[in-house]
């Protein structure tokens, strides 16, 4: 069972590293982190997402999953500002 966990962890890291665009990593983000990537306030970002709520879906806890982040980037465009990786 420990081996399966390690394989999933390695796969998740490979997914994060492989999906870069303009220096922005596709990984789970919070709403505040995504707003910071776009350089806008939390409230402004909320308004931007409103028309795409059905396409994006509901967050899992505090995070949008990688597929939701891809959809957000497709709808709003990739942000030109990016957070430094803290892994």
pTM across the whole model: 0.69
Higher pLDDT, 60 or 80: 60
**pLDDT (0 to 100) of residue 21:** 58
pLDDT tens by residue, 67-86: 999 999 999 999 875 444 44
Q: Give the whole-angstrom CA distance, residue 72 versus residue 81.
A: 15
Report the DSSP beta bridge partners of residue 60: 63
Q: Where exactly are the structural domains of the chain?
A: 2-76
pLDDT tens by residue, 19-45: 555 567 889 999 999 999 999 999 999
């Amino acid at each position: 069972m420990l081996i399966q966990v390690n394989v999933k962890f390695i796969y998740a890291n490979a997914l994060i590293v492989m999906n870069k665009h303009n220096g922005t990593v596709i990984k789970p983000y919070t709403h505040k982190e995504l707003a910071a990537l776009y350089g806008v306030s939390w409230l402004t970002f909320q308004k931007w997402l409103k028309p795409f709520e059905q396409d994006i879906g509901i967050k899992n806890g505090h995070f949008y999953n990688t597929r939701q982040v891809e959809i957000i980037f497709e709808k709003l465009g990739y942000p030109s500002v990016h957070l430094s990786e803290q892994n």
